[in-house]
Amino acid sequence: MKFYITTPIYYVNSEPHVGSAYTTIIADIIARYKRMMNYKVFFLTGTDEHGQKVFQAARAAGKDPQQFCDELAQKFEQLWEKLQITNDGFIRTTDPKHMAVVQYFVKKMLENGDVYKGVYQGWYCVPCESYWSEEELGPNHTCPSCGREVRFIEEENYFFRLSKYRDALLEHYRKHPEFVQPDFRRNEMIKILESGLKDLSITRTTFSWGVPMPDDPKHVIYVWVDALINYVSAIGYPTDPERFNEYWPADLHLIGKEINRFHSIIWPAMLMSVGLPLPKTVFAHGWLTVDGQKISKSLGNAIDPKYFVDKYGNDVLRFYLVREIVFGKDGDFSEKGLVNRLNSDLANDYGNLLHRTLAMLEKHFASSIPEPGPFEQEDESFVQQVLDKVERYLAQMDSYQLTDAIETVMAILTLANKYFDERKPWLLAKQGEMKKLGTVLYNVCETVKKVAIMFYPIMPNSSLEVLRRLGEETQPNAQHLRQWRTLRSGQKIIHGAPLFQKVELKSEQKVPQETVASQVQLLDINEFRKVDLRVAKVLSAERIKGSEKLLRLTIDLGELGTRQIVAGIAKYYEPEQLVGKCIVVVANLKPAKLMGVESQGMLLAAHDNDQVKLIIVDGGAAPGSKIS
C-alpha cells in the first residue's frame, strides 16, 4: 500500500516560524503513522521561490533573487531537520527540472484549448499573489485573505478556462465527500462553485522572476500555477511514468485554510485539463494564533519554534500542537499552555505511571517483566477497555482526527492510572499476593507499551525510550496494538529518571521572535506613505476582563471620530496614567479582535528590553493630526 502526503511549499520571502512548522509537523505525524501501519510513504515538502513577493523581498535585502532563495530554502531544511521531520522529498520551484515540468504542463493545457490570450483588468494582492474580483474585496478595497491593500492592474495575460470546469468540479464534490475536509471547508468551496467561476489569469508581464511561458517568454507563469505543479513534478511527471503512477494521485494535500481555493478548485481543474486523476483528499486546517491574531511576520508575532525545541524538547512541542489545538480549527499558541500540558498530561498522567510501575518491578520482581497470574473480573474488564480504545485510536488516525486520537490515548492512561490505584499493588505486595501483583503490573506495562506505540508518530523520542525501559529492543510494532501479552515475561526493565520533568513557569516569558532575512527590510517611500499615522488623544482606558496584558482605549482622532483600540500594555501602564495623553496610532489598520474585543487601530511604542514606552506627542498637537 502506498501513501503520498504533501505540505504546501512555503514562500521564501521570510524565514520559517511556528505557523509554517505546524503544518509540517502535522504532516510528519501522519507520515510516521502510515509507515508504522506498513504503508510505503512518500512525504513531500519544499519551498515556493518565484513571484513578485519573493522578488521584492530579495531586492529589499539587497540580494540576487536566486541567492536570496538559496539562503532561505536552506533555513527551512535546517529547521525541518531540527524538528526531526521525515520528509522523503524537498522540492524547490527554482529547480530547472521542476520549471521544465511547469512549462510542459501549461503547454498541455494550451494544446487542449484551455488557455487563451487576453487582457486582465482587476485587483491583485502582491503579498498573497492572488487575483480578486470587485465583489470579493474587503472594506476599503483590501484583500479578503490578508486585509492588505490591493492594486488595480491592467496587462496582457494568458487565461485558464477555469469556468469550463465548474460543473465537473461540483459533480466530483458530490461523488467524493471526502475530497475536501473538514466538512465546513468543503461547504465553503461548494458555495464558491455554485456562485460561478471566472477564468483565471495565469501569466504576468510586469516582472521576470518566474517560469517563462512556453513559446512566449515575455510572459511569466503565475506563481500559484507554478507552485501547484510541484505535487506532480516531484514524483516524476511526465518523465518517469513508473514512479509517477506508483504514487499519484496524492492521498493527502495538507494545507492552511487560506489557500484552500487554490488547492480545492484551481488545482483539480488544472488536473482535469491535462487528464490526470484528482488527489484523494485536501485537508485545510486552521491557523495558529497569538492573542487571537494569526501568526505572521507582518504582525510582528512570529514565534521561533527552535526556542521551544531547545527548552522543552521536540516531543513536547509536537504533543502540545496536536493536543491543545483541535486539528482543523484555529488554536491559540502560548508557552503557558505548553507547560500546562507538559506538567499534567505528560509528567503526571504518562511519565508518573511508568515511573511508579517500573519502581515496583525493580523492588519486587528483580527488574523483570512478571508472569501474570489468573485474570480476575477487574483485570478482564480493564484489558477489554484498553483494546476497545486502541480500535478507536486507529479509526481516528485513519480519518485524520488527530486531536481526538490523542484524547483517546490520554483516556487509556486515565484508565490505567485508575486501574493501578484501585488494584492497590503496594497493598498486594505487603500481603504477599505476588501472582495478583504480577498480573496488575504486567497489565500496566502492556498498556504503557501500547501507549508508547500509539504516541510514536507524535512523540518518537520518548516512545522509543519507553520501549527501551520496558526491555523492548525493536521499533514500534503496530501489530502489537491489537494483541495482549506482547511483553515477554522475564525480560529486563530499566528504571530510571522520570520520563518528563515538570516545569515551573514563574512568569509569562517573552518568546524570542525570528529575524526577517537576518537584516533590516528596506521600504520604498510609496509603501511607507500607505501607513496613515495620526495623533490620537486617549479619552478613557480600562482593563479587559480575563487578560493580564490588554487595555481597551477609547481615542479621539479628530475628524476621523472616536475609536477603540486594544493594546498589550497593561503591565506597563495603569489605565488612569493614559487618560489625556496624545499618542501615535496607525489609523488605517484593518480591525482585529483580541480576547473577543475589536481593535480599530494600533498604537506605537518603543520596546527596550523588558520595558515598553508609548510614543507621546509633545506640544499639544490636535487629535487627528497626520504624522509624516
What pLDDT digit, counting tens, does each position of 245-296 carry?
A: 999 999 999 999 999 999 999 999 999 999 999 999 999 999 888 766 666 6
Q: What pLDDT score does 517 carry?
A: 34
Q: What pLDDT score does 485 carry?
A: 96
What is the band of 515 on the pLDDT scale with cuts at 50, 70, 90?
A: very low
Q: Are 572 and 592 in contact (CB under 8 A)?
A: no
**Strand 40-48 versus strand 115-125 pairing type:** unpaired
Q: What is the mean pLDDT of residues 4-17?
A: 90
What pLDDT digit, counting tens, does each position of 306-354 carry?
A: 999 999 999 999 999 999 999 999 888 889 999 999 999 999 999 999 9
Q: What pLDDT score does 67 carry?
A: 94
Q: What pLDDT score does 568 carry?
A: 85
Q: What pLDDT score does 141 carry?
A: 77
What is the CATH number that goes with domain 525-626? 2.40.50.140
What pLDDT digit, counting tens, does each position of 578-606 carry?
A: 888 889 999 988 888 777 788 899 898 88
What is the band of 547 on the pLDDT scale with cuts at 50, 70, 90?
A: confident
Give the distance from CA 518 to its chain's centroid.
23
For residue 125, say whether it is annotated as part of any ligand binding site. Answer: yes
Distance CA 101, CA 418 (A): 58
Lowest-confidence region among 78-87, 179-188, 378-387, 533-542: 533-542
Higher pLDDT, residue 158 or 507: 158
Q: What pLDDT score does 510 carry?
A: 54
Q: What pLDDT score does 38 carry?
A: 97
Distance CA 204, CA 224 (A): 12
Cell numbers 515540468: residue: 101
**CA distances to 34, 92, 446 from 412, in Å:** 22, 42, 12
Can you name the residues that pair with 30 across neighbouring β-strands? none
Residue-wise over 412-443: b if at least 16 C-beta within 10 A, else e? bbeebbebbeebebeebbeeebeebbbbbbbb
Please state which architecture CATH assigns to domain 334-492: Orthogonal Bundle (1.10)
DSSP assigned state of 532: -
Show the CA angle centred on residue 621, arms to residues 620 and 626, nearest 5°: 165
Lowest-confidence region among 172-176, 235-239, 526-530: 526-530
**Taking 70 as the threshold, does the pLDDT of residue 511 lie above it?**
no
Distance CA 2, CA 65 (A): 37
The domains of the chain are located at: 334-492, 525-626
**Taking 60 as the threshold, does the pLDDT of residue 516 lie above it?**
no
**Taking 80 as the threshold, does the pLDDT of residue 46 lie above it?**
yes
Q: What pLDDT score does 500 carry?
A: 95
Q: What pLDDT score does 57 carry?
A: 86
Distance CA 605, CA 573 (A): 12
| DSSP-assigned states of every residue in 363-411 | HHSTTBPPPP----HHHHHHHHHHHHHHHHHHHHHHTT-HHHHHHHHHH
User: For 609, left (φ over 0), alpha (ψ -120 to 50), or beta?
Assistant: left
Distance CA 615, CA 583 (A): 6
**CA distances to 60, 469, 491 from 367, in Å:** 63, 10, 8
Share of the chain above pLDDT 90, in %: 66
Q: What pLDDT score does 494 carry?
A: 96
Share of the chain above pLDDT 70, in %: 94
Q: What is the mean pLDDT of residues 70-84?
A: 95
Higher pLDDT, residue 383 or 589: 383
What is the band of 503 on the pLDDT scale with cuts at 50, 70, 90?
A: very high
Q: Which three cell numbers stand for residue 28?
A: 510528519
Distance CA 201, CA 129 (A): 12
What is the band of 514 on the pLDDT scale with cuts at 50, 70, 90?
A: very low
List the strands of the sheet with 115-125, edge to edge: 130-132, 115-125, 151-160, 200-201
For residue 582, say whether it is annotated as part of any ligand binding site. Answer: no
Q: Average pLDDT over the chain, rounded to whole?
A: 90
What pLDDT digit, counting tens, does each position of 460-497 carry?
A: 999 999 999 999 978 899 999 999 999 999 999 999 99
Q: What pLDDT score does 550 carry?
A: 85
Q: What pLDDT score does 519 carry?
A: 37
Q: What pLDDT score does 520 carry?
A: 40
What is the band of 628 on the pLDDT scale with cuts at 50, 70, 90?
A: confident
Angle, helices 96-111/267-274, rounded to nearest 10 degrees: 70
pTM of the model: 0.78
Higher pLDDT, residue 122 or 5: 5
What is the band of 120 on the pLDDT scale with cuts at 50, 70, 90?
A: confident
